[in-house]
Amino acid sequence: MLASQLPALIVLLVLGAVAKVLTVRSGGEMGSLARLGPAALMPARIEVPMLVVCAIGELVIATGLLVSTSPVFRWAAVAFFAMCTYVLLEVRRRRPDAGCGCFGEVSGAPVGLRSVARTMVLTGMAVLSLWAEEPGWLAFAQPSWFVAAGVVVLLVLSPELEELADRLRYRAPCEQRRGPAVEVTLARLRSSGPWRQHRDQLTAAEPYDSWRELCWRFFAFERRDGADVVFAVYLSGRRPAVRVAVVNAEDSGAMPVYTPVSA
C-alpha cells in the first residue's frame, strides 16, 4: 500500500519537468516566465536557469523513485514537495498575479488554494513512500485501488485541467482571448469574498473606471475616506480569482499591497 504512492509522484514529477523544458524552449512574450512559480520570486536574469534546474531536479528524483529504494530519493521527494508548498504560499502572498508554474505555462493561472492543497497532498504521499520497500516500477507493474484514489484526488486539485479545456476550446491563451462581458465579470466580482469585505466602505456600487490587462479585468471604486479600492478579476475559469488593493491618495505613486483572497 505504501508503494502505491510512487506512481503518482513519478508521473507528476516527469510531467512537470517536461512541461518546464517545453516552456523554456518555446520562449513566449517578454516577461512571461516571470509570472510562473519560483521564477516570479527571482531576478529576471536567472528565470530560465531556475526553471531548468527545477526540471532537472524533478527528473533525477523521478528516476530514483522509479528504479531505486534508496532513502536519498524518497527524502528528496519529501523535501521537494514541501519546498514547493512553501514557494506557492510565497508566490500567493507576494505575487498574487503569478501562476504556480508547476506544469510550465499551462499553470499560468493565479495560485489558488487548490494548487497549494495539491502540493500538500503530494508531500504527504512522499512521506508515506518513505516506508515503501519496493521501487516505483514494481508499483506500476502491480497497481492497486490506492493508485486510482490518489490520481482522482490529484485531478480534483489540478486547476490546469480547466486551463487545458479552455485552450482546447478557444485555441488561444487567455491573454489573446476575448474575455467575458464587463457586466458578467462585474457580477462575478459582486459574488466574491473580497467584494463583500469592502462593499460597505464604497461610495457607489458602480465602478468609476474599468480596464483590462492580459487575463485580468480591473474595477476601480472610490472609498468613503478618499482612498481607491481596485478589484482585479481573473478572466478564465468557472470560479475566477479575485484580488483587491487599497490605494490611498497620498500613496498614489507607491505600489499597492494586494490582499490575496480568492473567490
Supply the pTM of this predicted model. Answer: 0.61
Q: Indicate if the alpha-carbon torsion angle 200, 91, 39, 111 is positive or negative.
A: negative
Q: How many Å apart are CA 37 and CA 100, to the nearest integer?
A: 4
The percent of residues in the chain predicted with pLDDT above 90, rounded, is 23
What is the model's pLDDT at position 127? Answer: 93
Span 65-84, average pLDDT? 92
What is the model's pLDDT at position 231? Answer: 94
Amino acid code (one letter) for 149 = A
Which tens digits make up the pLDDT trace of 156-200?
888 777 777 766 665 566 666 677 778 888 888 998 888 999 989
Cross-sheet strand order for the sheet of 228-234: 209-213, 216-222, 228-234, 242-247, 258-259
Amino acid code (one letter) for 81 = F
Question: Does residue 68 or residue 162 have the better pLDDT?
Answer: 68
Q: Among 100-114, 145-159, 181-195, 241-255, which is the least confidently predicted range?
A: 241-255
Task: Check pLDDT > 70 for residue 25.
Answer: yes
